[in-house]
Structure 1
Amino acid sequence: MPSILSRLKTLIPGPSKPPPPLIPRYKRPRPKTIYPTDFGGLDKPLAETEDIVIPRLPSEQVKPVQEYPQLRYKPSQWAHVRERGRRKMAFVLDKFTSEPGAMVLLGVTAGGVWGLGIYEALLNVKSGVPVGEVWRFVVRFAAANTFGALTNTSVAPETIVASLNLDPSLFNFIPHSPEALYKTLDPNQAEARLHAVYARVTRGLAAGYMGVASLLRVINWTFMASNIYRERVLSGREPPFLGVEGRVFRLCGRVSDTLTMSLARDGEHVLPIIEEPSNVRHLLQEYTRNGSVPMAWHIRENQYGSPQAWTGLVIDEPALLKTKSGERLLYIEADGTNSEDALRLGTESADLSLEDASAAYRMIEDIAHRTSALPSFTTVRVFLGDMLQKGQTGGGMEYTLRQRKVDILIDSKLPILTEIIKWADKIAAPGWQLRKVIFETDSQEYFHNLTALLKIYGFTVLDISQVSPEDAGKLPRLVYYRRTGSTVNAFRAILDADPIDPGRICVVIDTKDGLDTVQQLKSRGYLSGEETTIVCSSDIYDTLLRQVRTWCRMGYTPKQIQAELDAQNVYVAQVAKAIAQQAEDAKKNGELKEGEFQEDLAKKEVEDQRAKQDAKSTEKEGGNE
């Protein structure tokens, strides 16, 4: 029985054999016969498969405002302000309870000032006054002069008597005029006046020094609460606000190119769970409104299965997605892609692994089950990653993501390859000898993979060094470097130097920032005529994740959705698998640079360390302010 590699060789087109058709754009759902993919080893013979009928799912794309109607309205600022105030007040109260000395000092000061106010009030009361009226006057006088003591001021007793509508003859007022004071005071009144002055002075000293010191401490804690709250939000340690209608829990690892696109479109409906908040601090500052609205959660690497790491995260009923039938879904997504690495096939995940994602799935589900107020729900686990990446058990057996337990597995490589094939078929000349494409890249592995892929479809991939200046302006050109910034710079250089129609260029980029930069070139007049084809991996991934969520909301089961995803890429999957095996063999034989992927990881590690240092310095500056 022939192997996959030998069978793929028969697919190479020639003069009498046209290339295989591109993946068709499926329309309304209807039964269609497909051949399921065998994801076993490449050297194993293909198993004989039977025709199976799988009903196709609808491919309507929904916009973010259609998925989340709440995006049409601005969130309630008052609700956010009230919740922030409550959390800051809780911090201040916690500081009080954690420092008993401060509470004792404030209590003794307030009690002493209050007691001195009562004593001074009693000095102004004549004997024989009814007890009820006495205590009305005393309590009102002490309360008014307690607050006034902070500024060393006092309220006259006759003012208190007039406010209470009491008989002035029942009180022993001290006149303010010196002449009247000399004529009317008897020795007992003079002694009472002297004690009242002593009480007023003592009250002012106690409130003016110890009371003000305690008040300043409270104010300082209030400002500290604002700074600490902001830093907790930006570091992912502050629990997100509740009440968001429909929330997706997104596991992002250290870096996720798709996260930027999702936050720009869905806002707080996406709750990112990140390992290194310093790597995405600029995103958190923007979408948390500079640390005002918490919308992220921080989990350290290798702590996804620790219950303590998830303490504080709360899942409420509105966060559950709703289906058309009324069923509730706890929806969890995991981004296991490598940052800025869309064309390297079969490489291991350098960020979020499926094992960590599985542990996080369980922890989030346990949190939801412990919340008694939640209705019954179904958990949907989605993983986005390279389906060809391999792992190894302790016994030495290799496995792929396909063989691991997950509800829905989305391949991150095949959609990118499919878009490139569509562009090449649309832009290249129809003659076999003219179906040539220039691929400009700095990666040997990218060049090898795309050359092998497009060869199946009758294309010849050329390096820029293999083309004359005259042909360089005529042939279609694909631009993709290992960094998005390098891709954008190369694209800009092509537009400035080469006489080429921008409509014959395809730019593959990975980040939203790169996509915005390329689109800005059009507004500045760099792109004229036909539009340049832009294949943005983060845009494609976000669209795929939204499509899967839409199917889940429509009531389709994860098994049906997985069958649809497999059917969309059934042919390209086998081609990509063979190419990945060829690339691995070429590395072993020294034909390809083997340490290229490791070099990229080392560079990204250095960038992560710099981001951490910048975040720490920013935190110190905020604390000093």
Structure 2
Amino acid sequence: MTENFDNRSQVLEMAGRQSEWPKPGLLETSKSWLQPRVEMALRRFGLSGKELAGSTARDLGVLTLAIGGIGMVEAHLLSGEPIFSKFALRYAVENLLPSVIWGSRPAELISLVTTGGTDALKQFSQTSADAAIQLKIAGLYTLRSVLAGFWGISKVMQASGIGREIKASLRQRITEGEEFLTGGVKERVMRLAGTQSDVTSLSLREDGKHMLPFFEDPGLIASLVDKYSNQGKTPFMWHVLSGKYGEASSWQGFRVKPDWYLKTQGNKKLLVIEADASVGEQALALGSESSNDLTLLEVAQAKDSLTKIANKNKQKDRPDQVITVLLADSQQKIIFGDKSEITVREQVNQLHEADIVIDAKAPLILGIKSWLDSLGIPTENQTLIFDTDNQEYFGTIKKMMESLDWQVVGRGQTGEYRDSPRLVYYATTTDTAHTVKSLISSEQVAPEKCCGLFDKVDGVDKIEEFAKEKGINIPSVCSAQIYNGWFKAVRMFLRMDMPPQEIQSGIDKIFAPVLGKKT
């Protein structure tokens, strides 16, 4: 099946055309909208009820004794019977609930039930002594009604307060990635995103709830959390601290649902784990000295933990295969204590810490080369101006592009190569977009020869908006878009039941012009 890997453009084009996720019908669409809302409402109700029940049971016991005791004294004054007589006890019980609404059961009816007549009840006369007794009875009636009534009001207010507290607590758990996800979504990909991940931000935008990200520090992605949790109303991610992927406490309360598995053409169930081990916010990861946001050990431990959780399901609800797809600089060196070295790819091959590796450099270099090839520049004039303030990136681009027969010069040599294509990359997406717009607006370079190199898709959006205003086309190479395309392409081939080894072989074939035949 390696014929599916004829070239980079074909693979990404196929992935772009593929309708990846199951198309829901009207019923499933309604369910996916309604189910999360119902589940969260039930969780709030359950937690509120549990919290309220604890304090209510205690308060209710005390209040029952108090109101019952008052009722028994009241019955004694009404009848002259002993406080613990059958009539007094029945009178106290019958008036527990009516007291809440300032009501009272007739003493005559209770006397008839308990004694068979009303002879035991006092017949009050118009004397000061009887008037005093009747005032005491009225006072006791008022007292038990006030106690019961105010208790009821206080419980309503308490329930309201507890509801607000539960809502705030749930919101905090959701925004901190500690609340388990709701149902209503079929097929989900596990995405290990480290502290931050530009490609994961784009995947969430394009794939929505089919992408389940794991972040190490939700506080660093507050705007992303606010957007995809619907302002803290719906869980969409899970929080795992750096270095804690193998600890059981990191996964407490987390489950792998059977309907999350990706279905293949051969009806296999795949639990797919994708890991963005590129260099955090600097997602281009072009420098060989950069350190990864997500380590190989963390990726391997996350796979072990998720596999163990999935296998807790019933036999029929377990995945047929767990696949790990790793995005990383495959040529980056791992240095051991004895100063011996090994590349990331060699480590993966030796210890099988991932099933498929997508190199973080090669697709970006191929993206740049694809833009340059579209310009049709003769071989003898193949000079690229790399306009950047990052010395590490400049050195890496220069080395890798020169291996593809392109000379790379810096901004200081612009005069000598004024008509050469220019690649622009600065520390932030905004700086890069601004520089591209300024170069084109000042006619320093033709639009088609000025390419922005972006970490985040926001940069592409800014450039496209500017190009639309000017009625021109401006090329760009965005790591988030390219990485997202490769993740999607791998999932497409997995759905076709292509073995991971064959997928890896095809990827290596495409990346060989940049990385060499062996990675």
Taking structure 1 as the reference length, the TM-score comes to 0.70
Give the gaps of 5 or more residues in structure 1.
Answer: 1-27, 35-55, 128-133, 149-153, 175-180, 578-625
Distance in structure 2 (CA, Å) of the matches to 1:519 and 1:110: 71
For 2:38, the aligned partner's letter is R
Q: How far did residue 295 of structure 1 move? A: 1.2
2:478 matched residue in structure 1: 536
Pair 1:60-2:8 in alignment: no
User: Which SS does the other structure have where 2:241 is aligned?
Assistant: coil
Q: Percent identity?
A: 25
Match of 1:340 in 2: 282
Match of 2:455 in 1: 510
Residue aligned with 1:355, SS: helix
5 Å matches for 1:350-369? 350-369=292-311
Distance 1:371 1:119 in 2: 60
Say whether residues 1:375 and 2:322 are aligned partners: no
Residue 383 to residue 203, structure 1, CA distance change in 2 (3 Å): same
Structure 1 residues 353, 283: CA separation in 2 closer, same or farther (over 3 Å shift)?
same
Kept in 1, the 8 Å contact 2:330–2:360? The answer is yes
SS of 1:331's partner is strand
2-structure distance, mates of 1:244, 1:205: 51
Q: Shift of the alpha carbon at 1:82?
A: 2.7
- Give the aligned partner of residue 390 of structure 2: 443
Match of 1:238 among 169, 179, 193: 179
- Number of residue equivalences: 497
Q: Conserved in 2, the CA contact under 8 Å of 1:387 and 1:411? A: yes
Alignment-derived partner of residue 551 in structure 1:
493
Partner Cα separation in structure 1 for residue 91 and residue 497 of structure 2: 72
The C-alpha deviation readout for 1:132-155, integer Å capped at 9, x for no partner, is xx9999977643442x2xxxxx24
Q: 1-side partners of 2:35 and 2:513: how far apart?
A: 52
1:160-209 deviations in Å (ceiling 9; x for gaps): x9xxxx9xxx999x9xxxxxx99x98999978854642332111332355
- Mapping for residues 289-438 of structure 1, pairs under 5 Å: 289-338=230-279, 339-342=281-284, 344-372=286-314, 375-377=317-319, 378-403=321-346, 404=348, 405=352, 406-430=354-378, 432-438=379-385
Q: Distance in 2 between matches of 1:542 and 1:491?
A: 24
* Contact in 1 for aligned 2:284/2:479 (Cα 8 Å): yes
Instruction: Tell me the amino acid that sits aligned with residue 345 of structure 2.
Output: R
TM-aligned CA deviation for residue 229 of structure 1: 0.7
Residue of 45, 50, 62 corresponding to 1:108: 62
Q: Residue type matched to 2:43 in 1? A: R
The answer to whether the Cα contact below 8 Å between 1:343 and 1:449 also exists between their aligned partners in 2 is no
Match of 1:248 among 182, 186, 189: 189
Q: Which runs of 5+ in 2 are unaligned?
A: 82-87
Tell me, in whole angstroms, the C-alpha distance in 2 between the residues paired with 1:220 and 1:61: 51
Q: Indicate if the aligned counterparts of 1:247 and 1:269 stay in contact, CA closer than 8 A.
A: yes
CA-CA distance at 1:513 after TM superposition = 2.1
- Secondary structure at the counterpart of residue 67 of structure 1: coil
CA contact (8 A) 2:463 2:474 kept: no
Contact in 1 for aligned 2:464/2:474 (Cα 8 Å): no
> Residues 74-85 of structure 1 correspond to what in structure 2 (within 5 A)?
76-85=32-41
Q: How many Å separate the matches in 2 of 1:78 and 1:483?
A: 40
Deviation at 1:570, TM superposition (A): 1.7
Question: Does the 8 A contact of 1:341 with 1:482 survive in 2?
Answer: no
Cα distance in structure 2, aligned partners of 1:390 and 1:71: 49
Aligned residues of 1:502 and 1:528 also touching (Cα < 8 A): no
Please give the per-residue CA displacement for 1:286-324, whole angstroms capped at 9, x wherever unaligned.
011001111111111111111111111111111122112
Q: When the two structures are superposed, what TM-score results if normalisation uses the length of structure 2?
A: 0.83
User: Which residue in 1 is equivalent to 2:402?
Assistant: 455
How far apart, CA to CA, are the structure 1 residues paired with 2:499 and 2:163? Answer: 50
Taking the aligned partners of 1:336 and 1:458, their CA distance within structure 2 comes to 29
Kindly state the Cα deviation for residue 481 of structure 1 after the two structures are TM-superposed. Answer: 2.0
Which residue does the alignment assign to 1:520? 465
Mapped to 1, the partners of 2:188 and 2:133 lie a distance apart of: 70
Cα distance change, pair 58–261 in 1 and its aligned pair in 2 (3 A): closer
> What CA RMSD, in Å, does the superposition of the two structures yield over aligned residues?
4.0
